[in-house]
Structure 1
Amino acid sequence: MVEKVTATETAIAFLEQLKEKHGPLMFHQSGGCCDGSSPMCYPAGEFLVGESDILLGTIASTPFYMSKVQYEYWKHTQIIVDVVEGRGGMFSVEGPEGKRFLTRSRVFTDEERAAL
């Protein structure tokens, strides 16, 4: 099965640490400027998703949503969530930890696109 969203092992390990501290979490990537261009991590239910958002999949049992408009730009790629040192979005739960999530991607192969 082809996954639309996945994460590096480092990001998954960090996400698990955050879940121990904050409980169930969720990701949302809006594609807006500044903070919105990075995947934002919130306590589950704190960010309300709506009809303009789609669920791309889960990372370590954590749902990952993206705005439909932004997904149109990313639909030909697999989204890979990673974590790096540095300050991220001020509303994202990883902010105080001195790390931030970021999105990497790779273009789907012809076979993967056909499977989707």
Structure 2
Amino acid sequence: MALKLLTAINWFLILLMSGTLGFLSFALFLGTKEGKQKLLLEPITSFLERFLAFGLLGIIGAGVLVLVNLLINRAFLDSEISLKDLAIRSTTIVLGACFIGTLAFLIL
């Protein structure tokens, strides 16, 4: 029962993190309209900088999630959650959301 609950919490946190970072990489721009126009004139550089910045935040968030699960596995659970699968799954989903959000920022 505890393993299913922890898995559900993990999925909720992964989806929350990826949704938040995807939205922020799409919608967040702190600057003027002229600054955004400059970003759009250099799409490759802008894409890489924006994707790497939000992707790094996502990787850090996924790492914290895996670390918390490691501590919970060692302290409380008899049957452990696969940390390798959790790390790969969470990182892939979060980076995918950042990629889509950054792409939407430059296209729209």
Q: TM-score range by the shorter chain?
A: under 0.3
The TM-score, its normalising length taken from structure 2, stands at: 0.24
Instruction: Indicate the structure (1 or 2) with the bigger Cα radius of gyration.
Output: 2
Higher relative contact order (CA 8 A, sep 6+): 2
* More helix per residue: 2
* More strand per residue: 1
